[in-house]
Amino acid sequence: MILVDVYVPAVGNVYDFQLDEEEKISAIIEEIGELVGQKEHCKIVGRIEDLLLCTREDKRILRKNLSLAAEGIHNGNSLIMV
């Protein structure tokens, strides 16, 4: 498990997440989307498959078929979900 912060511009907030670095990014995007929706009492409009997870430092889109570890994400990284 790693600790990262995820900025979600759609709601204008940053959230801290403890994530399994071996889980596929596509599953992590779903999990983050659901948790943010619950926290903000809103529902994601559109297809969750269209959401992207990116690094904040180098603005790189993470490939959904890989894990966070495979993409080089580790403790303390900052991500953006758009």
The dihedral built from the CA positions of residue 3, 67, 65 and 72, taken in this order, carries a sign that is positive
**Residue in the block written with tokens 């430092």:** 57
CB 51 within 8 A of CB 69: no
CATH number of the structural domain 2-81: 3.10.20.90
Give the domain ranges of the chain.
2-81
Report pLDDT for 16.
97
pTM of the model as a whole: 0.90
Could you give the count of Cα atoms lying within 13 Å of 21 in the half-sphere of its Cβ?
13
Which tens digits make up the pLDDT trace of 23-64?
999 999 999 999 998 888 887 777 888 999 999 999 999 999
* pLDDT at residue 43 in the model: 74
